[in-house]
Amino acid sequence: MKRAAPGPLLALGFVGLIVLAAVAVGRGALHIEASKVVAILESAVGVRRTAPFQPWEATILLDVRLPRVVTGAFVGAGLALSGAALQALFRNPLADPGVIGVASGASLGAVAAMHLGLAAYEAWAVPGFAMTFAAATAFAVYAIASRGGRLPVGTLLLSGVALGSLASALTSLLLSLSLEEYEQGRQTFRWLMGGLEAKTWGEALLVAATTLAGSAVIAASARELDALLLGETEAASLGVDVPAVRRRLIFAASVVVGGAVAVSGVIAFVGLVVPHLLRLVVGPAHSALLPACLVFGAAFVVGCDLLCRTLVAPEELRLGIVTASLGAPFFLFLLLSRRREVSLE
């Protein structure tokens, strides 16, 4: 397959993201015309004095839909980027934040915060718990799997699966306990299905901060990630301090995934499908792959969320359900048509 030049592809993705975002803020249970969308945005940034729209239209657009779109964009960007980083780290195109248990750990943290009743009083509780649990899971997996500074990939993946299952079991336990209280159980259950509804600017800023901080660390390791794809011995012989890079990347991915899971629940397949597809288009080199993951991951989640809100309007589908329904068959198709490339050997 011939590769696309990274520059034009990035530009294309960025334009696509902007268009999708513009459509997404106008569409929904209540339709706002394109001209009004532009006018509202213009007056919000102060370049327009007249207001050819209703105040409540501006409120819906600026305080309900825009934070939702921004949150979705950063969640998608972060999940795709950390997926790409973890795939290089484990030298496995099937690795994903879910695989090493980080997403399940983050999920358990968020549900624990809700169960303890902290979520109702403290805005930081869910993200704080999610990131802490994500990092704790990542480092627990790391500690269990590493032997004298070495980290056999098989052991790592298996301990990730084991700890992830434990976290999921504990999450279910907390959920069943929460069901005693109708409102708390309902909140937990809806959160677990994953979604972007009722996102505030606070949450948008939170996930923007975690995604940008983690991405900066991951992007600074782009060349080391390339070398790691060749194997640990090769990477080390090319001058990469493998244990240090691994620690740094696992920590950065935990911050990104913890932030994303806290605001939107577990959104499956973004970290798997987006990098995988982009690798086919731009190749495996991370200097091109990582920026593409940011842009197309963002566009993918914003697009899926738009589908959630418009397919059965005025009802809404859950985002996690849409990404999984699109991602799973597509991924299976890739798996069957390109068996060699996703082999686990």
Partner 1 sequence: MTPLLEGRGLSFAYDGRRVLADVDVSFSASELVALVGPNGAGKSTLLRVLLGLLPARSGSVSVLGRPLSELSRREIAQRVAFLPQETRSDFAFTVRELVGMGRLPHLGRFRPEGEADVRAVERALEQTATAAFAARLASELSGGERQRVLLARAIAQTTDVLLLDEPTSNLDVAHQLEVIRLLHGLSRSGKAVAIALHDLSLAARYADRVIVLSAGEIAAQGSPRDVITAELLARHFRIHARVEHGEDGVLVIPMAPL
Q: Give contact residues for partner 1 (rule: CB under 8 A).
A: 91-93, 220, 223-224, 226-227, 229-231, 233-234, 236-242, 279, 283-285, 340-343
CB of 276 to partner 1, least distance (A): 11
Nearer to partner 1 (CB atom), residue 165 or residue 343: 343
HSE-CB at 80 with a 13 A cutoff on CA atoms is 30
CB of 56 to partner 1, least distance (A): 47
Count other Cβ atoms within 10 Å, centred on residue 245: 17
Nearer to partner 1 (CB atom), residue 134 or residue 240: 240
Smallest CA-to-CA distance from 278 within 130, 76, 114, 128 is with 76
Nearer to partner 1 (CB atom), residue 46 or residue 148: 148
CB of 340 to partner 1, least distance (A): 8
Nearer to partner 1 (CB atom), residue 92 or residue 171: 92
Q: Which two tokens stand for residue 22?
A: 């513009």
- Give residue for tokens 């979604």: 195
Nearer to partner 1 (CB atom), residue 100 or residue 242: 242
Q: What beta strand segments (E) does the chain contain?
A: none
Q: What angle do CA 279, 276, 241 make, to 5 degrees?
A: 70
Which long-range CB contacts under 8 A does 11-14 form with residues at least 24 apart?
13/292, 13/295, 13/296, 13/299, 14/295
CB of 227 to partner 1, least distance (A): 6
Nearer to partner 1 (CB atom), residue 16 or residue 283: 283
Q: How far apart are CA 87 and CA 138, in angstroms?
A: 15
3 state SS of 147: strand
CB of 1 to partner 1, least distance (A): 9
CB of 15 to partner 1, least distance (A): 25
